[in-house]
Amino acid sequence: MKKLLSFLGTRPGIILVGAIIGVLAALLVQFGNPVNMGICVACFVRDIAGGLGLHRAAVVQYLRPEIPAFILGSFLAALVAREWKPRTGSAPLVRFVLGALSMIGALVFLGCPWRAWLRLAGGDWNAIFGLLGLFTGIFAGIVFLKRGYSLGRNYPAPRALGLVVPLLSIGLLALVIIGPLFGRNAEGLAVGPIFRSATGPGSMAAPIVISVIAGLIVGFLAQRSRFCTIGAVRDVVLFRDPHLLMGLLSLALFAFLTNLVLGRFNPGFTGQPVAHTDGLWNFGGMVLAGLAFTLAGGCPGRQLFLSGEGDGDAGVFVMGMLVGAGFSHNFNLASTAAGPSPYGPMAVLIGLGLVVLIGLGFRERAA
């Protein structure tokens, strides 16, 4: 067991992890998740925000079980490997803001870095603009890091702190299964939350059991291998270290191969599911998301896995994503299949301004 756990951290290990995640992501679509959305941290957090009633976009409301399962899978992996370590105190408020802004950017593109690669693996060429934006955001983040950007150290915290996010995850899973209706309308009739889309992407989902099992596997493997879609690009540019990139390319390749086998590879720009063809804002949205993720130290998936292993600041980032998703839809900033909303591009520009201010304003790392 110990050998297996440490194998996952090696080069062949992370390539294997990427392959497993790639195949699982494609299979989740086969089981019912929206197309090219087997796994999308941003989309799923957005759906959870909708399920909880933090926004009222009726087509994207579902307490996606994959997200709590990612966290719990990582929690279990960290416990088994004796790596669970409650810690916090590295500018949590700034991480909250970064989480919210990353979400606003990702929802202009319609996907996080995970989905950008999965969209590419499904033949959605609009993802190319998203990925170029993502790389641009990461490069910008590296410039800030080289100038000494830092949100400062975290510090060991009581064990209870490390349990907060895993317990919230268990609560969320309970809400998915029980599906209570807390709200009452004027006539006193029960209405959501919990909301569940009747149409649109939020209505498309793999069976709960399959989502949970897949999520637990991904969370476990990703915690052990330190899988990160931002680190993959960042470490190559910053350190010439291709370790994480190998895992990411393996994910994209195996998702592509699985799509080919299942007849789900449909190359083209138009008619792609849960996507729009506005190249400029596919690019722009992901510049914002990529920069915010880089300044927070990892991709949205990584933030989930870190919060599972006890990192309270990563947990705050995730809360920021949840609230950012609420704002994104309530303020009509998120794109639809028709294209960016009238307010999305301005939100991206304002968000970029704020993230640049964070990049310039936080330089507390000792040389």
Partner 1 sequence: MSDKEEITTVDARGYACPEPVMLARSALLRNKGKPVRVLVDTMTARDNVSRLAVREGLDSSSTEHDGGFAVTFRPKGA
Binding site for partner 1 (CB under 8 A): 9, 81, 83, 85, 87, 89-90, 145, 150-156, 226, 228, 231, 234-235, 238-241, 243, 296-298, 313, 365-367
- Euclidean distance between CA atoms 18 and 6, whole angstroms: 16
- Euclidean distance between CA atoms 156 and 303, whole angstroms: 18
Q: Which is nearer to partner 1, 9 or 32 (CB)?
A: 9
The identity of residue 186, as a single letter, is: A
Q: Which is nearer to partner 1, 144 or 256 (CB)?
A: 144
By C-alpha distance, which of 293, 291, 353, 274 is closest to 29? 274
Q: Which is nearer to partner 1, 47 or 313 (CB)?
A: 313
The identity of residue 336, as a single letter, is: T
Q: Which is nearer to partner 1, 94 or 286 (CB)?
A: 94
Minimum CB separation of residue 2 from partner 1 in Å reads 13
Q: Between the CA of residue 310 and those of 74, 100, 109, 205, 265, what are the distances in Å?
A: 10, 21, 30, 29, 38
Contacts of 103 (CB under 8 A, 6+ apart): 42, 45, 46, 289, 320, 321, 324, 325, 328
Q: Which is nearer to partner 1, 265 or 362 (CB)?
A: 362
Q: Which is nearer to partner 1, 55 or 87 (CB)?
A: 87
Sheet strands (E) in 259-301: none
Minimum CB separation of residue 226 from partner 1 in Å reads 5
Question: From the CB of residue 330, how many other CB atoms can be counted at a distance below 10 Å?
Answer: 14
What residues pair up with 339 in beta bridges, in sequence order? 336
Minimum CB separation of residue 232 from partner 1 in Å reads 11
Q: Which is nearer to partner 1, 80 or 337 (CB)?
A: 80
- Euclidean distance between CA atoms 289 and 137, whole angstroms: 7
Taking the CA atoms of 322, 324, 329 and 334 in sequence, report the sign of the dihedral they define.
negative
Contacts of 178 (CB under 8 A, 6+ apart): none
Minimum CB separation of residue 249 from partner 1 in Å reads 18
Minimum CB separation of residue 247 from partner 1 in Å reads 14
Minimum CB separation of residue 353 from partner 1 in Å reads 23
- The 3-state DSSP class for residue 184 equals strand
Minimum CB separation of residue 298 from partner 1 in Å reads 6
